[in-house]
Amino acid sequence: MRFRLTLRSRGLLLFLVGICLSTLLFTTKATSTSVNFLPSQATVKFGSGVNDNSNLPGTVVKPVSVNTSSNTPLKLTQGVRETVLDNGLTVLTKEVHTAPVVTVQVWYKIGSRNEAPGVNGIAHQLEHMLFKGTTNRPIQFGRLFSALGSDFNAFTSYDHTVYFGTVKREKLSPLLTLEADRMVNSIIDAEQLETEKKVVISELQGYENSQEYRLNRAVMHAAFPDRSYGLPVGGTKADVEKFTVEQVREYYQKYYRPDGAILIIVGDFQTESTLAKIKETFGKIPQSGASGMGYGKWGEINNRQSTKSNQQSINNNQPAQTNNQQPIILKEQGSAAFLNLVYPLTAANHPDVPALDVMDYILTGGRSSRLYQALVESGIASNFSGGAINLIDGGWYEISATAAPDIKLGEIEKVITSEIANLRDKGVSEEELHRAKAQLMATVILNNRNITNQAMQLGADESVTGDYRFTDRYLGAVQNISAGDIQRVAQTYLNNNDRTIGFFEPTELAEQAGETIVSGGQTSEQFNAGPP
């Protein structure tokens, strides 16, 4: 699966839609600080120049040649070994001996998707708490990770919460010990919770300062009024303020268990000795004992009284949408007009996903793409972004565009609608198809060029689709996509009657202070060692 990479000034998906602070890579579509890790989740932003890393110091970009007509399947999971412990923990290991480092990631199969109004943001809140120490080690875990020389971070997304770090190979054993310890022994007390609630609220207020984030929140809520994907991953201030230590502790005890987690290790290590260490540390943690882990909407029953405040927070300063054909309009001081457009899509495991991604590259993949030519090259938009986001319970196809000076958003909407109608009615050429497939497959390959990204790919595939080999199957399917497949999925999913659109219309121009990269699909953390 391909990482969802985002460079935009609106608010996630964690992933990114934003990735935390990990050094995740660029794709042929965009530079990114935001990742959701599925191959079907790439977002592009183009302006006067295409963003990439080719001019960064120390960056060497080599062309990747992909034969899209080859019958030889591409295998990115070669060398991966899957082990399931008696307590249900899934362990994925892959030895890569190119450098003396190893990455360790723990993916918990719980995210904002499982939340209900009233407890929106509890997954993100708990993520913060897991750096506060354990009963065995009552010290800031940031200090412990730093003592190991670890690059460490975490993020919360729609479908999962992830903790990850990279260390020298000789530090692998203590890093595993720390991760096992906080899976079951984390301290969650009232005083620390109040402190971290303030930190989270500060983050949320930073997001809310972005008109793009707030418009996207309103669009997502209108597009998915009855699904948790319509709620912000990081939560709302109204809900976070009300979290009790009992709620957060109950959530931790219910979901942070080995049978609801995936442990991934990629890098320079020996599998057998490492598995022995894993069994020694993680293996003694009891499984939840709950049938199916109860992966519904946590807090749905006990927190219905908070729904009204949550809805009020979602729609604050944003007129309610009467129907999906009328744009949501946000008017206030700003630097430029922009729009956000969402079409609902199918789930990540659906066989249409590869064709949707190829379609996305035809519409948004580079300077030759249809929307780049129609929006940026024509001069009516200063930049645009687009991408398919496919998750466990379905996803969406999203397009955002910033209007050039003196251009009305209605004109941009008409151009986008016209280009999509043309795709639906007339299909695509074989040349476009071949180019898009080659771009997409090259992106997937490039996204797996370092151990952190390889582990992220495995984690996303296993947690979202239930199969760490998903990307291998995905690449095989991409090779077999036809022009007819592209036209069919465009006709199936890109319907005007199903879309939701939002406009930001500045009442007066404000001086642009520079881009702020904010993700609504994934939280972004900045942890430091901190005091003991």
Contacts of 423 (CB under 8 A, 6+ apart): 359, 362, 363, 370, 486, 487, 490, 494
Contact 113, 159 (CB under 8 A): yes
Q: Is the dihedral of CA 116, 120, 124, 129 positive or negative?
A: negative
Q: For the chain, how big is the Rg over CA atoms in Å?
A: 22
Q: Could you give the CA distance from residue 15 to residue 31 in angstroms, rounded to a whole number? A: 14
**Is the model's pLDDT at 301 over the cut of 80?**
no
328: helix, strand or coil: strand
Render 254-307 in DSSP notation, one character per residue: HH-SGGGEEEEEEES--HHHHHHHHHHHTTTSPP--SGGGG-S-BTTTTTGGGH
pLDDT at 465: 97
Phi, psi of 529 (to 5 degrees): -60, -45
Show the DSSP H helices in 61-121 as ranges: none
The predicted-structure confidence for 118-148, as pLDDT tens digits, reads as follows 999 999 999 999 999 999 999 999 999 999 9
pLDDT at 513: 41
Q: 44-302+312-509 falls under which CATH superfamily?
A: Metalloenzyme, LuxS/M16 peptidase-like (3.30.830.10)
DSSP 66: -
Contact 58, 250 (CB under 8 A): no
pLDDT at 9: 28
pLDDT at 74: 79
**Is the model's pLDDT at 515 over the cut of 50?**
no
pLDDT at 135: 98
Q: How far is CA 8 from the centre of its chain?
A: 13
Contacts of 18 (CB under 8 A, 6+ apart): 6, 12, 33, 34, 35, 155, 517, 518, 519, 521, 522, 523, 524
The predicted-structure confidence for 5-63, as pLDDT tens digits, reads as follows 332 222 333 333 333 322 222 233 432 223 345 665 533 333 432 223 323 223 233 33
Q: Could you tell me the maximum CA-CA distance found in the chain, to the nearest angstrom?
A: 65
